[in-house]
Chain A
């Protein structure tokens, strides 16, 4: 069974569109994260939720809006997509909000044309 899963795996879309990425974890963890990995493989935290509550909100354009309907799910909605949004987006989860051992999903490869 996949521990942290994301859908879709690939997403190709036009500039200006709105899209969502979904994440689910079946590890029973309390905390979930969204990371962005650029073309140089640099991983940067975007958001984190602990028990459905936002605890980390890095300097991210407000076109990005995370939503956590329950502690096993964390979705990411992106409005008005821009070319610079092209990246791989990873979801992760950890047992607690301390953020130590995090388990990553397989990633969503977003390409904005």
Chain B
């Protein structure tokens, strides 16, 4: 079936560096994508979203890039801080009411 997956289960970066978290999706009908951050012991928290009619969207220190040709989504975090340490999920929606989540990437920020 269709799935949403992540390239790397764990990503380690130095404080102050930029982080890039990647996500591959396989459902070409997906028209909405969203990134969540989940800190230890907490629920997922919305970061940023993007619709399929866009290639890029920027937020505060975060940018989401969407490449529909290769079905790839990425989350870029600028000047990564210790507070950015968390598991990051991408999710996609292809019509209907359901978000399908990827498997998650653990981001570790080293001081």
Contact = CB atoms under 8 A, between A and B. Distances in A.
Given A100-B49, A101-B49, A90 B43 contact: yes
Contact of B44 (A31, A100, A104): A104
Contacts of A45: 98-100
A103 B104 contact: no
Contacts of A55: 97
Interface residues of B, number: 22
A31 B96 CA distance: 13
Contacts of A41: 38, 87, 103-104
Interface bracket on A: 20 to 34
Contacts, number: 56
Given A41-B87, A42-B103, A100-B32, A107 B97 contact: no
Given A40-B103, A41-B87, A43-B101, A99 B96 contact: yes
Interface of A: 4, 31, 40-45, 48, 50, 55-56, 90, 92, 97-107
Interface of B: 32, 34, 36, 38, 41-46, 49, 87, 89, 93, 96-101, 103-104
9 contacts: A45-B98, A50-B97, A90-B44, A92-B43, A98-B97, A99-B99, A102-B46, A104-B36, A106-B42
